[in-house]
Amino acid sequence: MTTFAWLGMAAMMAVAAPTRADEGPAAPSRGCATRDYPGDRRDVACTLEPSPEARIVRFAVHLTGGHDDTRASMQATLDGKPACATGSKVALFGEEGDVSLECRIERPAGSAAGVLRVVVVWTCAAFARHELR
């Protein structure tokens, strides 16, 4: 199979792939774009819709294979300002098994559209997925 044919098949499969965030790294959250870097880092940018009512938005990162030296952290900004509310879990160390981070974003009534940017860094685990809900 030629490279061109393979790329065409890959593009068709990507279009047909489900877009739910909980289905793995190949299916990021709707409205989110990701960029992976060498090593264990992923940047995610998500467009948040206007919010006529007050609500809480959650951005979660799920990792697998956590053990005694696993580290992970995330930094999130909404339109350039820190986004995670008190009670968010933005770092972990030494947790076992399937582990996760979560950023709670409090959106007041009448919030305009915005861009949520998240930088996730981890070691000694595997990135499973992210989700915006």
User: CA torsion sign, 47 to 34 to 23 to 56?
Assistant: negative
- What is the rounded CA–CA span in Å between residue 120 and residue 49? 22
Q: Which two tokens stand for residue 77?
A: 């900004």
* pLDDT tens digits for range 41-98: 999 999 999 999 999 999 999 999 999 999 999 999 999 999 999 999 999 999 999 9
Angle at CA of residue 71, ends 69 and 73, nearest 5°: 175
What's the pTM value of the predicted model, to 2 decimals? 0.76
**Position of tokens 């938005």?**
57
Q: Which two tokens stand for residue 37?
A: 């870097």
**Position of tokens 């992210």?**
130
